[in-house]
């Protein structure tokens, strides 16, 4: 007896999210934090199933997400990580903090697959050598999975033990790759960049809102009524009240990131689980990434030589004596 789908309730809305729904969801999460998704629809009045709310948040609304324009660096990372991990998009996404697994998956399916196929056309062995799906034994896949799980567990342990080191031991990534939301009160140095993503998200949200509003035949009074929302300060506000579709203009609902008197903002620090634990494993103290990057961009190493080589590189969670920690 299979479990019934969570979204077969009558009256559950499907399809694209409207800006109004986004704002309701964002406002709710800003006040309560992500999690307890089953309570979101009932508490917000959204006619969406909990799963839909979670996906909308994690794939689109969550601060710190970069969209589009994958850099060469990211592209190479994805290609190599896909070769290492297979289609474990969540695991791959953990190495690209600003990207969602959905984004990476889409990018892989629409861009990289074709790209690699082209390359494969030139060199018939290229893809076969990279893709685990073509590997003859399942043992290799099992080992990779185990390695990844060990790695994930290690990350979780590191997080638990060294939350206070969150910003000190970031891996040797390009700055753009460590763009988690950071509470200004805890790390002012990062405020300008860390806010950008979230602000961008919200600004985008508002831009699409304004666009859709201008397209629609709603009267201004209707728009005012329907689009009103509670900002983080608890005030009823509306974009029609002088708010513009810019990042600056949307600061009022910027998740309290810029508000030191908003206790909720504490939830958005890297030191707790609000965002990092939600989808992105912490990269703090993630020694393997630097090593991995070295490997990824080492032209010689880029020629995948075999599972043993890969496993050795992936076994960075081992100490000098080869014991896992």
Tell me if 71 contacts DNA by CB under 7 A. Answer: no
Q: How far is the CB of 322 from DNA (least distance, A)?
A: 26
6 is a contact residue toward DNA (CB under 7 A): yes
The residues facing 212 across adjacent strands are none
- Nearest approach, Cβ of residue 216 and DNA (Å): 13
Min CB(124)–DNA separation in Å: 21
Task: With contacts defined by CB under 7 A, name the span among 101-109, 187-195, 235-243, 301-309 that binds DNA.
Answer: 101-109
SS3 for the chain, per residue?
Answer: CCCCCCCCCCCCCCCCCCHHHHHHHHHHHHHHCCCCCCHHHHHHCCCCCHHHHHHHHHHHHCCCCCCCCCCHHHHHHHHHHHHHHCCCHHHHHCCCCCCCHHHHHHHHHHHHHHHHHHHHHHCCCHHHHHCHHHCCCHHHHHHHHHHHHHHHHHHHHHHHHCHHHCCCCCCCCCHHHCCCCCCCCCCHHHHHHHHHHHHHHHHHHHHHHHHHHHHCCCCHHHHHHHHCEECCCCCEECCCCCCCCCCHHHHHHCCCCCCCCCHHHHHHCCCCCCCCCCCCCCCCCCHHHHHHHHHHCCHHHHCCCCHHHHHHHHHHHECCCCCEC
Min dist CB 188 to DNA, Å, is 29
Q: Which of 87, 238, 290, 315 binds DNA (CB under 7 A)?
A: 87
CB of 174 to DNA, least distance (A): 20
- The verdict on 101 binding DNA (CB under 7 A) reads yes
Buried residues in 11-43 as b, exposed as e (16+ CB within 10 A): eeeeeebebbbbbbbbbbbbbebbeebeebbee
Cβ 158 vs Cβ 284: under 8 Å:
yes
- For residue 159, state whether it binds DNA (rule: CB under 7 A): no
59 near DNA (CB under 7 A):
yes
The reply to whether 3 sits near DNA by the rule CB under 7 A is: yes
Binder of DNA out of 23, 26, 28, 54 (CB under 7 A): 54
Among 23, 25, 30, 50, binds DNA (CB under 7 A): 50
Q: In whole angstroms, how close is the CB of 62 to DNA at the nearest point?
A: 11
At its nearest, how many Å lie between DNA and the CB of residue 68? 4
**Choice from 28, 95, 107, 209 touching DNA (CB under 7 A):** 107
Total of residues contacting DNA (CB under 7 A): 45
Stretch binding DNA (CB under 7 A), from 60-68, 220-228, 247-255, 290-298: 60-68
To DNA, the closest distance from the beta carbon of 233 in angstroms equals 27
Nearer to DNA, 62 or 167 (CB): 62
51 binds DNA (CB under 7 A): yes
Which residues of the shown chain bind DNA in the complex (CB under 7 A)? 1-7, 13-17, 35-38, 48, 50-52, 54-56, 58-60, 67-68, 87-91, 101-103, 105-107, 109-111, 114, 278-279
């Amino acid at each position: 007896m299979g479990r019934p789908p969570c979204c077969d309730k009558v009256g559950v809305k499907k399809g694209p999210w409207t800006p109004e729904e986004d704002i309701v969801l964002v406002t709710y999460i800003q006040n309560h934090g992500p999690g307890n998704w089953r309570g979101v629809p009932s508490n917000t009045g959204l006619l969406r199933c909990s799963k839909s709310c979670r996906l909308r948040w994690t794939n689109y609304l969550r601060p710190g997400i970069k969209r589009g324009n994958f850099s060469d660096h990211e592209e190479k990372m994805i290609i190599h990580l896909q070769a290492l991990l297979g289609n474990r998009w969540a695991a791959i996404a953990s190495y690209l903090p600003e990207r969602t697994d959905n984004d990476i998956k889409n990018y892989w399916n629409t861009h990289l697959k074709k790209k690699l196929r082209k390359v494969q056309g030139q060199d018939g062995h290229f893809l076969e050598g990279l893709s685990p799906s073509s590997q003859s034994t399942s043992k290799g896949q099992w080992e990779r999975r185990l390695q990844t799980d060990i790695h994930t567990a290690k990350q979780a342990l590191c997080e638990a033990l060294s939350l206070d080191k969150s910003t000190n031991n970031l891996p040797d990534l390009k700055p753009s790759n460590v763009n988690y939301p950071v509470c200004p009160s805890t790390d002012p140095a990062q405020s300008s960049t860390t806010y950008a993503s979230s602000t961008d998200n919200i600004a985008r949200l508002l831009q699409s809102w304004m666009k859709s509003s201008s397209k629609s035949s709603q009267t201004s009074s209707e728009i005012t009524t329907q689009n009103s929302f509670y900002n983080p300060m608890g005030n009823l506000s509306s974009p029609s009240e002088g708010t513009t579709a810019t990042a600056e203009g949307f600061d009022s609902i910027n998740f309290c990131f810029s508000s030191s008197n908003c206790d909720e903002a504490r939830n958005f620090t890297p030191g707790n689980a609000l965002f990092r634990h939600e989808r992105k494993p912490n990269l703090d103290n993630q020694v393997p990434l630097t090593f991995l990057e070295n490997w990824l961009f080492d032209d010689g190493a880029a020629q995948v030589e075999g599972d043993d080589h890969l496993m050795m590189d992936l076994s960075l969670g081992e100490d000098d004596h080869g014991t896992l920690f």
